[in-house]
Amino acid sequence: MKTKNKLLTLLILSSGAISTTSFINKLIQLKATKNNLLETQPSCYFKWRLGDIHYTKTGSGKPILLIHDLNASSSIYEWSRLIPLLAKNYTIYAVDLLGCGSSEKVNTTYTNYLYVQLITDFIKSEIGHRTNVIATSEAASIPIMACSNNPDIFDQIMLINPLSLSDYCQIPGKSAKLYKKIVDLPALGTLLYHIAVSKKFIYEELEKYGFYDSYYVNCSLVDAYYEAAHLGLSPKSVYISQKCNYTKCNIVNALKKINNSIYLIGGQKIQNVCDRLEEYKIYNPAIEISFIPKTKNLPQLEKPDYLSELISTYFS
């Protein structure tokens, strides 16, 4: 009888802990998303087979598709200072990738192949003809792989601070698969996710890697990234897929195959960025490289005017 009572007590305590954790998770999400900082007017939605994809369309002229970085706190907001400059001469499509920003956040494992299919379908359905594409950081692999498969729907490609080629080759290991199982847990996993995308963590990441001048890391920026990380039904799914390397893909063969013009833009203050970008030219000597002074990973937010001029020069 005593053993049964102990088991019953343990069960009650466990149920209470789970309920409390779930309540805390809900409060965190409500607080993070209450200000609707990512609302855009007008907003458009592409009805894709795995979920609704949020995007904006601005300006007139030749189309440019903007693809933000591939992490849980990224969104169209990443392009907010660049879009008004480019919209004077181009039709700008900025898309929230599935699992990011205001797009649907389904509970699934996100892969590079999934995003390649998404961008391919988006260009065919919403843009309707060849387009220039600009992508940043880890998301830079998406247009490379998509263009390798469907070169006729792409014009020129610009990659801003892409990862090193070796980083794109990483695959999920045993520890990563275990971590994914833990974060996939409904209550505990969600709490761990909320800790990983806390305001403090986002601020430190932006200050250390995003900007050369910390002046640009202000409350409104951090709040927008924080909101993006908490919108939707399963925001943690893209986080765990990216952290465990399910979104990575070896792009070397695709680089060799592509005949479209490719331009690489680097933040001059990123350590070893020159060597990282020069490695791409080994596999595609036609690639052109430029650097933006006094910037790190987010020149589109730190020096949008400089970047806009580079884009106009390359895409003219």
pLDDT tens profile 258-283: 999 999 999 999 999 999 999 999 99
pLDDT class for 16, splitting at 50, 70, 90? low
pLDDT tens profile 80-137: 999 999 999 999 999 999 999 999 999 999 999 999 999 999 999 999 999 999 999 9
Whole-angstrom distance, CA of residue 75 vs CA of residue 94 = 9
- Write the CA distances from 64 to 58, 164, 254, integer angstroms: 10, 24, 21
pLDDT of residue 17: 58
pLDDT of residue 223: 96
**Among candidate residues 148, 10, 128, 2, the one with its CA nearest the CA of residue 65:** 128
pLDDT tens profile 171-206: 998 888 899 999 999 988 899 999 999 999 999 999
pLDDT class for 2, splitting at 50, 70, 90? very low
- Write the CA distances from 112 to 38, 241, 249, 280, integer angstroms: 25, 10, 6, 19
